Structure 1
Amino acid sequence: MKRIIVGITGASGSAYFLRVMETLAQQELEIHVIASEQGRKVLTYETGVILEEQTQLWNKSKADIILEDNENLFSPVASGSYRCDAMAVLPCSMSTVAEIACGITKTLLTRAADVMIKERRKLVLVPRETPLSTLHLRRMTELSELGVTILPAMPGFYGHPQTLDEILGFVAGKVLDSLEIENNCYQRWEGNHEK
């Protein structure tokens, strides 16, 4: 069974996290969810969702979802010997980007991301900040040079989205594509075949 880690931090954009998790929960996966304290607060503030309650609902689907304690550095996902296939952090705050880029691993979320980098496994960060400062861009460039996928929450509009869910689906689908998870979250570009 494929193992995925999904992190959520205190940046705005919790709805992206929910959209990705809704899709992942429908598949036979082992999913470790790691939320920063601010990630939990922003999730509830923006969406009304309480993470513990939502995790119980997701666990009624196909996936095996483990809600991790962000302070527990003894978790299996803190070790490179526990083979996880990929990790995404969404939304990813600029503070978290900076900690990961600098190798600061005081929490399980940043330690798990550090493990993904050192083991050369797939790590996808979804920053949700605007405008971006030069410091932000430098940290993201450093991570990109290490093989980290930087996937800003920038929806495309070529599919003519009509609802907020379609806009969220675009970013969620791109995240899942980067994690190599099959999905139909968004309308893929087929080009203009008119002659």
Structure 2
Amino acid sequence: MQQPVIPARRRRMIVGISGATGIIYGLRILEVLRSLDIETHLVMSKPGERTLVYETDLKVRDVRAMADFSYGDADIGAAIASGSFRTMGMIVAPCSVRSLSAIATGNTDGLLTRAADVCLKERRRVVLMFRETPLHAGHIRSMAQATENGAIVFPPVPAFYDRPTSLDEIVNHTVGRVLDLYDLDAGLLDRWNGGSKAAAARPRGDA
């Protein structure tokens, strides 16, 4: 007797958007994950919704529509609040100091930080695109504690070796490097190949 074919489950990623500046990173990640057919589960904090107004012309409903599923930060009974809900992990883009500190200590204060804490306890990858500078000792201690708990602190520091000519290229490079951590390649960046591109672009006669 032929066995029924069980369809493969789509891979799932949780995306958190907190109140730090740099909401463009979260938006681009949602766009790229959709292009890769990754099921996205979005949670935005209230400060994140406020930052959206400052930095874009989008409405909250527009951002929620970019994800397959979305939740309010107060919805602590959501699927992503449970370790039994299997995902690839979580990306917090951008990640504020408050969110980083809550995740580092396990003192979660909403669904965004709870979902990150759940991923860490289940030994799933959590990437925190931390947006703050300059740093005081408390920030550095929180980054160290988050790292000790299994998170990856990934400040969105731009790369210039590929000579970006637009904001989109800078954002795409950083997003591509974040997705590398999940073994996802969307073809967003020029990878370092030993400097051949830079050498080809160097004016003749330069050392």
TM-score if structure 2 supplies the norm length? 0.87
- The 8 Å contact of residues 7 and 33 in structure 1, kept in 2 or not, is answered as yes
3-state DSSP class of the match of 1:68?
A: strand
Shift of 1:71: 0.6
State the match for 1:87 in structure 2.
Answer: 90
In 1, the alpha carbon distance for the partners of 2:28 and 2:61 equals 16
1:157 maps to a residue whose letter is: F
| Partner SS for 2:13 | strand
Counterpart for residue 158 of structure 1: 161
Aligned length: 188
State the match for 1:55 in structure 2. Answer: 64
Q: What is the CA deviation profile of residues 79-133 of structure 1, one whole-angstrom value per residue up to 9, with x for unaligned ones?
A: 1111111100011001111111111122111110110111111000000111011
Same amino acid, percent of matched pairs: 40
- Secondary structure in 1 matching 2:72: coil
Match of 1:119 among 102, 118, 122: 122
The alpha-carbon deviation at position 175 of structure 1 amounts to: 1.3
Conserved 8 A contact 2:30-2:40: no
What residue in structure 2 maps to residue 96 of structure 1?
Answer: 99
Q: Structure 2: how far apart are the matches of 1:91 and 1:106?
A: 17
Structure with max Cα Rg = 2
Q: Hey, what's the Cα distance between the residues in 2 that align with 1:178 and 1:44?
A: 30
Check the 8 A contact 1:127/1:151 in 2, yes or no.
Answer: yes
Paired position in structure 2 for 1:180: 183
Q: Secondary structure at the match of 2:61?
A: helix
Which residue in the other structure is 1:108 paired with?
111
Contact 1:17 / 1:90 at 8 angstroms: preserved in 2? Answer: yes
- For residue 9 of structure 1, what is the aligned residue in structure 2? 18
Match 1:192 to one of 188, 191, 195: 195
Counterpart CA distance in 2 for 1:33 and 1:27 is 16
RMSD: 1.3
1:35-79 per-position Cα deviation (integer Å, ceiling 9, x unaligned): 0001011012101121312333x36xxxxx101111111111101
Q: Per-residue deviation at 1:147?
A: 1.9
Equivalent of 1:74, from 74, 77, 80? 77
**Other-structure match for 2:142:** 139
Gaps of 5+ in 1: 60-64
Counterpart AA for 2:27: L
Of 28, 31, 38 in structure 2, the residue corresponding to residue 19 of structure 1 is: 28
Quick check: 27-36 or 185-194, which moved more?
A: 185-194
CA–CA separation in structure 1 for the residues paired with 2:46 and 2:123: 27
TM-score (norm 1): 0.92
| Whole-Å separation in 2 of the counterparts to 1:110 and 1:140 | 15
2:44 paired with 1:35: yes
Amino acid across the alignment from 2:44: A
